[in-house]
Amino acid sequence: MIVLGNSESWPGIGTAAEHLQNGAHGLDALVPGLSLVEAETKVRSVGYGGWPNLLGDMEFDASVMDGTTRDYGAVAGVPMTLEVTRLAKAVLDNLPHTMLVGEGARRYADELGLAKDPFLLEHSKKVWWRKLEAVMTLEQKAAFPNTDLAPLTKAITDPEKVRDTTVFLCKDSHNNICTATSTSGWAWKYPGRVGDSPIPGAGFYADSRYGAAACTHTGEMTMRCGTARTVVLALRLGISLDDALRLAITELQELESGYIGGVVIHALDAMGKHRVVNVGCDEEIVYWVWTAEQGTPEKRRAVLAEDLLSGKVEALS
């Protein structure tokens, strides 16, 4: 058994591990873990602590995937809803669909009795407005919000500080491999922007026969490359986890135009071996891992893509 979580997963990884130890199905372990991350205000990228879009509204994306059935549930651009991972799980469990967006997703949250709340912390609101104010002309400010937002998106984006996601991957005691993701996306994003966290094959993918991958940071790139699917398909073709990651890194690095930023790929193979790779993020990337043998979750450092590509990284045992 293993649970792998990104840097922001610390409030929930212990709970996810406990559920796995009690024999829970992977998704029944990951969803309660992610709910704790969503509720933690110190996590500034997901749920309560997240940042709003250009209009000052929170919009959340989330997903869950069961690698045994290859079925998933996802929600995107959901307003007023903290527990979006629970909502995504309900889409998987109860609907004949795989994804709901915006108002439709919120309507389903009402049917499930999930709390409705703007979830914008006073501090986030102040930072949101201060930053917006700094890039607006006097005319734009007087007209706001009835002004074109597109020019502001370009001016304001500072990806290293305003993005992140929580991703969890696990292999449970029945060998199900699952993923779950949750995010408020880029801060100051254009309203309606959807990232990779609810997009299968981009921000997440799981197949219990081969492994799983989930990504954080620049969703615009993993959506163009289908990064999570590349990793899992390569595993299916009999390629090792590190070589599967080398292929996914190469595809990301081949992108030359459009928005280019950092990506972090978290990956597991069917044996429960894992690797987390920092592809072009300036800051040091850490992640959390728990295994049954290890007992408590440990924080570790991701390897650099360059080191993996040049063979500097010790092989997985």
Residue whose C-alpha is closest to residue 169's, from 211, 139, 112: 211
What x/- string results for residues 28 through 67 when contact with ligand ASP is judged by CB under 6 A? Answer: ----------------------------------------
For ligand ASP, the closer CB: 140 or 216: 216
Q: Is 165 a residue of the active site?
A: yes
Please pick, from the candidates 40, 66, 83, 164, the single residue that binds ligand ASP as defined by CB under 6 A.
164
Choose which of 9, 153, 165, 291 interacts with ligand ASP (CB under 6 A): 165
Give dist(CA 67, CA 65) in Å, integer: 6
Between 73 and 77, CB nearer to ligand ASP: 77
* Closer to ligand ASP by Cβ: residue 47 or 140: 47
Q: Which amino acid appears at position 61 of this protein?
A: D
With 0-12 / 13-18 / 19 or more C-beta atoms within 10 angstroms meaning exposed / middle / buried, residue 32 is middle
Check binding of 227 to ligand ASP (CB under 6 A).
Answer: no
Q: Give me the sheet containing 59-66, strands edge to edge.
A: 99-101, 71-79, 59-66, 177-183, 166-171, 2-6, 286-291, 298-301
Residue 203 or 211: the one with the smaller Cβ distance to ligand ASP is 203
Q: 3-state class of 306 per DSSP?
A: helix
Nearer to ligand ASP, 98 or 157 (CB): 157
Min CB(265)–ligand ASP separation in Å: 11
Q: How many chain residues bind ligand ASP (CB under 6 A)?
A: 13
CA distances from 36 to 12, 13, 49, 228, 290 (A): 5, 9, 12, 25, 17
Q: Considering only 13-21, 33-41, 101-109, 160-168, which stretch makes contact with ligand ASP by CB under 6 A? A: 160-168
- Which secondary-structure segment (H or E) carries 212? strand 211-217
The catalytic residue among 15, 68, 153, 165 is: 165
Binding part of the chain for ligand ASP, among 23-31, 70-78, 191-199, 278-286 by CB under 6 A, reads: 191-199
Burial class (CB in 10 A: 0-12, 13-18, 19+), 295: exposed
Tell me how far, at minimum, the Cβ of 153 lies from ligand ASP, in Å.
14
Give the torsion through C-alpha atoms of 32, 33, 36, 42, to 10 deg: -160
State the minimum distance, in angstroms, from the CB of residue 130 to ligand ASP.
21
Q: Name the residue nearer to ligand ASP (CB basis): 108 or 186.
A: 186
Nearer to ligand ASP (CB atom), residue 207 or residue 220: 220
What whole-number distance in Å separates Cα of residue 132 and Cα of residue 280? 27
Contacting range for ligand ASP; rule: CB under 6 A; set: 36-44, 82-90, 146-154, 183-191: 183-191
Q: Please provide the DSSP assignment of 122-182 as one string.
A: HHHHHHHHHHHHHHS-HHHHHHTTSS--HHHHHHH--HHHH---EEEEEE-TT--EEEEEE
Q: Least Å distance between CB 262 and ligand ASP?
A: 9
Closest of 175, 177, 172, 252 to residue 211, by C-alpha = 177
**Chain residues 192-221 in contact with ligand ASP, contact rule CB under 6 A:** 195-197, 203, 216-217, 219
Active site residues: 165
Query: Site residues (CB under 6 A) for ligand ASP?
Result: 163-165, 183, 185-186, 195-197, 203, 216-217, 219
